[in-house]
Amino acid sequence: MGDQSNSRCAKCQSKKQRSFSSEIALHFNGLEGLNKPIVWVFQEILVCLDCGHAQFAVPERELEVLRTGSPINDAAVWLGGEPADEQNQK
């Protein structure tokens, strides 16, 4: 985690920002989203410690899944169902 004191918050212009590691799951909206992949993003996230505004970049592979709604090779997605460990215990 690093201090990003050289940049300013895009929302409130504060210099009190900090970078954190993150795991973010992006879901498609609505009932039709239940049939689409959940897209996982493991990026550094920059958080304003004054207003809470946060920003991060979505990697190209995962961005393509968000564009198309379909999984692609090597993208971090979950298609639903039970995790493999739980399936093996039944």
Span 21-41, average pLDDT: 95
pLDDT classification of 80: cutoffs 50, 70, 90 = confident
Residues 6+ apart with CB under 8 A from 39: 25, 26, 58, 62, 65, 66, 75, 76, 77
Q: Are 40 and 73 in contact (CB under 8 A)?
A: no
Say how far apart CA 41 and CA 8 lie, in whole Å: 24
What's the longest Cα–Cα distance across the chain? 53
For residue 3, is pLDDT > 60? Answer: no
Average pLDDT, the chain: 88
Q: Which of the residue ranges 11-15, 47-51, 81-85 would you say has the lowest mean pLDDT?
A: 81-85
Q: Where are the domains of the chain?
A: 17-88
Span 46-67, average pLDDT: 97
pTM of the model: 0.75
